[in-house]
Structure 1
Amino acid sequence: MKKLAIWSYSLALSAAVLACESRTTTQTTTSTNGNDTTTVTRRTTKASDELEEFRGWVKNKANRTDSAARENWPEVKEDFKRRTARLDSKADSLSADARAEYNRLKAEYQTWEEENERRAQQPLDPNKLRQWEQELLGPTKELTTLTAADMRETYLLFMGIVRAKKNKWSQDDWDYVDNVYSRLNDRKEELEGGLSAGDRLKIKSLQAEYLALEASHDAKDLYQHVRK
């Protein structure tokens, strides 16, 4: 009986939470024109829910690698405009704290965008890039000559160096590292058919680790720029 009561309470609590988390309100308008009656139902999203979505969106963008973001730059900018336009139209219904957070999130995004555009326009030095290739992939290896049999060990070497030196690298250093990483991935795609299932799985886990480490660095870099 006690278990039944606990279960009933949990079910009621879950229902209450779901009700509180409803993200939309429904407005129904009925108009009559002669003998015809038209009913229009509009679903509108609350400003607080829009802000929650915007918060997650900004965090997601800040956590993506710069090269991934730049590939879809026009779409990212257009998405930002759409989201802020919706929130701007509902800003009056936000609390003072929520409006302050909204302004902070916009500033974070704009700082991130400006920094990424600056980095995108700054060409990498070919000689330095070659030096970074040798450091990250080994002095005797070149991306164009890597074989399927080399890929697993190459990723292991690459990630071992990233783990050891990530905290010492500047933002410019990370630009070179990210370039080498992207081209290593391109080479892996070319050799995909020759990789074993075990190698694919291991490489996938190493790629996920790299993205997490770079995202952590980018988030710290964004925070430092916003503080300035």
Structure 2
Amino acid sequence: MAVYILMNAPTMKLLNKSAPFLLLFFTLGTALSACESRRTIEAEEASTASAGVDQQDSRDTILVVRGNTNAVKELKKFKDWVNQKANKVDSATNENLPEIQAEFKRKTAHLEKGLDSLSKDAKAEYLATKAKYKAWEAQNKERTSKPLQAGEIKKRQKQLLGEYQNLNSINATNVCEAYLVFMGMVRAKKHNWDQNDWDYTDYVYRQLNNRKQEITTSISTNDELKIKSLQAEYLALEAGKDAKDLIKAVKSK
């Protein structure tokens, strides 16, 4: 459908003179618009491509970090296991030593598969933990090769428990007092003890724990809490003593 626009003569004359300029303006505008549209699309494509690279890098980084995190977690578990063994003085441990040695081999073999993903400091920590275990194992073999003497055990029970040296006399009413007497003697004498003293002391401690276990259902909540605190103190002292011995053992090698 045709549309007719009525114009007067002066207007027509002006349009005729301006036509070339209007055509040039329209052409440039169209080209610029197309160019602008094209650049926007290219920018979006570049952005999408960049996002793809960033996502891939992010995934790779996550995998690396995740691998390191798992290795660090395994190292921590190994350290906790070794510390649990090293901080425990038990004359019966030698009987279970073959099982402990087998477990040590399994744990170290598993850890060493991911050793390359650990940092330099973490690797050093791993080697130090292995050395700690080896020192504990050697020390334990030496200690458990010398059985405790019945006469000396009786003497130590009297020294460490006083009036509670007869374990059967300990009941729910006086068990907390028995632990207080025991820990009082440990605090007073520990500075002059050697490894042999600690072995006998630990034997008495375990016998006291066994007696407590027999009457545990009758012990009051307050006494139970006090006893747990005293047990924690003893274990901390024992661990500190073992740590010093292990450092000496490692340095001497």
The two structures have a TM-score, normalised by structure 2, of: 0.64
| 1:153-189, Cα deviation, whole Å (9 max, x unpaired) | 1110000111111121101100000000000111111
Match of 1:121 among 145, 163, 180: 145
Verify the 8 A CA contact 1:47 1:87 in the aligned structure 2. Answer: yes
1:67 aligns with 2:90: yes
- The superposition leaves residues 107-137 of structure 1 with CA deviations (integer Å, 9 ceiling, x where unpaired) of 2211111212322232101111111000000
Q: Matched residues in 2 for 1:116 and 1:142: separation?
A: 29
Query: 2-side partners of 1:124 and 1:113: how far apart?
Result: 19
Sort the Cα spacing of 1:179 and 1:93 in 2 relative to 1 into closer, same or farther, 3 A: same
Deviation at 1:148, TM superposition (A): 2.4
Answer with 130-139 or 113-122: which moved more.
113-122
Residues 1:166 and 2:208 aligned together: no
Which digits, 9 at most, give the CA deviation of each residue in 1:55-93, with x for residues without a partner?
A: 444334333x22299286455333311221023334455
Deviation per CA, 1:179-209: give whole Å up to 9, x if none: 0000011111112233222212211111111
| Residue 86 (1) aligns with residue 123 (2) | no
Q: Tell me if 1:155 matches 2:179.
A: yes
Equivalent in the alignment of 2:244: 220
SS at match of 1:66: coil
2:48 aligned with 1:24 = no
Structure with greater helix share of residues:
2
SS of equivalent residue, structure 2 residue 173: helix
Aligned amino acid, residue 193 of structure 1:
T
Q: Which runs of 5+ in 1 are unaligned?
A: 1-18, 26-43
Q: Which residue pairs with 1:192 in the alignment?
A: 216
Q: Give the Cα separation in 1 of the matches to 2:74 and 2:221.
A: 42
Moved more, 164-173 or 47-56: 47-56
SS at 1:61's partner residue? helix
Unaligned stretches of 5+ in structure 2? 1-60
Q: Which residue of 1 aligns with 2:53?
A: none
Query: For 1:84 and 1:196, how far apart are their aligned partners in 2?
Result: 44
Report the Cα distance in structure 2 between the residues aligned to 1:61 and 1:45, rounded to whole angstroms. 25
CA contact (8 A) 1:124 1:176 kept: yes
Size of the aligned set, in residue pairs, is: 191
Structure 2 residue corresponding to 1:142, chosen from 166, 171, 185:
166
Root-mean-square deviation (CA, aligned residues, Å) is: 3.1
Contact 2:157–2:204 (8 Å) recurs in 1 = yes
TM-score normalized by the length of structure 1: 0.70
Which among 104, 107, 110 is matched to residue 128 of structure 2?
A: 104
Classify 1:150/1:48 alpha carbon distance in 2 versus 1 (closer, same or farther; 3 Å). Answer: closer
Matching residue of 1:179: 203
Residues in 2 aligned to 1:67 and 1:109: alpha-carbon distance in whole angstroms = 15
Q: Which amino acid aligns with 1:185?
A: N
When Rg is computed on C-alpha atoms for both structures, the one with the higher figure is 2
Return the structure number with greater strand share. Answer: 1
**What is the CA–CA distance in structure 2 between the aligned matches of 1:178 and 1:206, rounded to whole Å?**
14
Give the CA deviation at 1:96. Answer: 5.8
Contact 1:61 1:69 (C-alpha < 8 Å) held by counterparts: no
Percentage of identical aligned residues: 48
Alignment correspondent of 2:78: 54
Do the aligned residues in 2 keep the contact of 1:23 with 1:49 (CA within 8 Å)? no
Counterpart CA distance in 1 for 2:234 and 2:103 is 26
